[in-house]
Structure 1
């Protein structure tokens, strides 16, 4: 059963990477269009800037929530690599608890604000801001779930991998 869930998880992760790549392609294409309209046609358009900003916002939050793996996250390398496996697990649990509490406290206000923003729309494309900023609420929930999982793993078994900053890769 675990192999089946792992396969489904790997497939979902690959689709999230595909979606992130598509967002990057859209942002790049619109950026090139913006340059073309402004400097070649001499007709600056605002919708290209709007799409670029929207894609950047969604890429950062969606990517952090669903694509970036835990071992690719930023860490305090000097402290993290200097302690034993037991203390690394303590640091993971402490940071997980702190993030769960902070995101948990802010989540009701985040959802309330996102829902309130349905009254506003973007200037050019008229996209409702609640749809636009909904990615932050999704990011917050995904972060809480991820931190629960990391804390659970650190407490009940799986220690963090031995960290070697000389072997950091690009994730490929």
Structure 2
């Protein structure tokens, strides 16, 4: 097996493992919090911080890095009823719209994240810029993702190659 393909497979597994590890950490912190509060009668606050940070990272990492286009939930009543050529235009317009929004908001997001280095969490003393840095990753990866969707649609690739699998419906009624 070529080295690049092997690297891609390992990277994919590691990228997908991040949300699973964070969800495990959330679950363990929840169990610790219940045990400490109701059995030991000495509640701890750091578990809540870990859960909130992990949930933020699960959402933004999962949506930007781990999730594939075909995993997304879409309302495709209109999209599924139009021709393939019009679907390509929908993907291109939608991609331009999203890239524009993310690119427009990126400088303000960067300013916010870098500004938050002045504050730390209450229990774990983690600087907030480290916690919110995932938002910058989310925006940059989303920009790259939708540039790719635009590029594949502009080239004329069908929806499955663009990563936006359209549901092919066969009408059972004749």
TM-score by length of 2: 0.88
Q: Secondary structure of the equivalent of 1:43?
A: coil
Q: How many equivalent pairs are there?
A: 164
Alignment of 1:1-172 (within 5 A): 7-161=6-160, 163-164=166-167
Alignment partners' CA distance in 1, 2:84 and 2:39 = 58
Instruction: Out of 122-131 and 65-74, give the one that drifted further.
Output: 65-74
C-alpha RMSD of matched pairs (Å): 1.8
Structure 1 segments unaligned to the other structure (5+ residues): 167-172
Shift of 1:76: 1.9
Task: Specify the structure having the higher radius of gyration (Cα).
Answer: 2
Q: Deviations over 1:51-82 (max 9, x none)?
A: 00000000110111111101111222211211
**Residue 99 of structure 1 contacts residue 147 of structure 1 at CA under 8 Å; is this kept in 2?**
yes
Gapped runs of 5+ residues in structure 2? 170-174
**Does 3-12 or 96-105 show the bigger shift?**
3-12
- Decide which moves more: 144-153 or 10-19: 10-19
CA positional deviation for 1:11: 2.7
Q: Which runs of 4+ in 1 moved over 3 A?
A: 3-10
Structure 1: distance between partners of 2:100 and 2:127: 30
The superposition leaves residues 33-53 of structure 1 with CA deviations (integer Å, 9 ceiling, x where unpaired) of 111111111111110000000
